Amino acid sequence: MVSAIEDPNPEVAGQGHARLRTSGIAVDVGLCAEEAAHDHAGHFLRVREKRPFVILKLAVSADDKIAATDRKPVAITGEAAKARAHLLRSHSDAILVGIGTVLADDPLLTCRLPGLEAQSPVRVVLDRALRIPGTSKLVHSARTHPLWVMTSDMSDAPAAMKLGAAGTQIIRVATAKSPPPGLDLKAALSALSERGITRLMVEGGAKVASSFIACGYVDEVWLLRGPDAIGADGVAALDGQPLSVITQSPRWSVRATESLDKDTLTIYRRA
Ligand SMILES: NC(=O)c1ccc[n+]([C@@H]2O[C@H](COP(=O)([O-])OP(=O)(O)OC[C@H]3O[C@@H](n4cnc5c(N)ncnc54)[C@H](OP(=O)(O)O)[C@@H]3O)[C@@H](O)[C@H]2O)c1
């Protein structure tokens, strides 16, 4: 075992790491510390803050909308960007949406990249009053792909039993005592972390994205931007908040950008 005690005055060997000499051998410590911390952030957060690492992914139009009028889904990005989002799903322990997205889009939320289907994350829905339809794709597939519905302490017990019988796991959490309204995100994240989730992908919609940002629980934002505008009556990406709270804020810095055909992926990290 190499001991660092022999040299109490380590020299600086490069940015972010130091060189120690022990038994005549130079040992660099702290190499790639930032990358390692990022790779293990979910584990550290789970232990220290009882919550997973949270990545908010949003596909936005050129004018910062995520859906058309009346919350109708619309193709915003192309195939390459969609494939990137599915790859992110496969790297996540769980994927979370609000009940608004389930009612508007009836999504499946699995990873459908060839060969990676088995890497689909646990699907999680925030649904205070158990409005999720028994006919939805999520409930229909609950026996093959885990579905966790987070609901309030007060929601209907028979509805919960029906969903349970269809293979859904019901997780009861408190409702928020202060705005933004909805389930208490701290309690929801803690319940997910207790169940082993270290990396959570939040896929919207607008209200859920806005709540996560407002409560400060987003560690990274993946913004997939398409080239076309939707128009003023489209659904704003962060509900009541402008997207500039991320894109123009000193609280966020750009970690990476990538072109995906006509679309752009920008990854923001909390500064
Ligand atoms: N382009 C994209 O990347 C993308 C991705 C996903 C969705 N979308 C679009 O987004 C639209 C849906 O967005 P949305 O804003 O209507 O619905 P949403 O954000 O999916 O769901 C909002 C609902 O979730 C429930 N909820 C429970 N706890 C919450 C909390 N702490 N914070 C916020 N919500 C909480 C609330 O209903 P209860 O009070 O009943 O629980 C709330 O009304 C659709 O048009 C969909 O197509 C776009």
Q: pLDDT tier at 13 (50, 70, 90 boundaries)? A: low
Q: Which residues have C-beta within 8 Å of that of residue 5, sequence separation ≥ 6?
A: none
> Measured from the CB, is residue 238 less than 6 Å from ligand 1?
no
> Measured from the CB, is residue 129 less than 6 Å from ligand 1?
yes
Structural contact between residues 123 and 109, judged by C-beta atoms closer than 8 angstroms: yes
CATH topology of domain 32-270: Dihydrofolate Reductase, subunit A (3.40.430)
Residues in the chain: 271
> Measured from the CB, is residue 88 less than 6 Å from ligand 1?
no
pTM: 0.93
Q: Domain map of the chain by residue range?
A: 1-31, 32-270
| Residue 132, SS3 per DSSP | coil
Separation CA 181–CA 207 (nearest Å): 9
- 123, 168, 173: which is closest to 152 by C-alpha? 173
Query: At residue 151, does pLDDT exceed 60?
Result: yes
Question: Over the chain, what is the mean pLDDT?
Answer: 93
Lowest mean pLDDT among 11-15, 21-25, 153-157, 230-234: 11-15
**pLDDT value for 47:** 94
- DSSP H helical ranges for the chain: 33-39, 41-49, 79-90, 99-105, 137-140, 157-165, 185-194, 206-214, 244-247
Residue with the smallest CA separation from ligand 1 atom 34 is 208
> Measured from the CB, is residue 185 less than 6 Å from ligand 1?
yes
> Measured from the CB, is residue 127 less than 6 Å from ligand 1?
yes
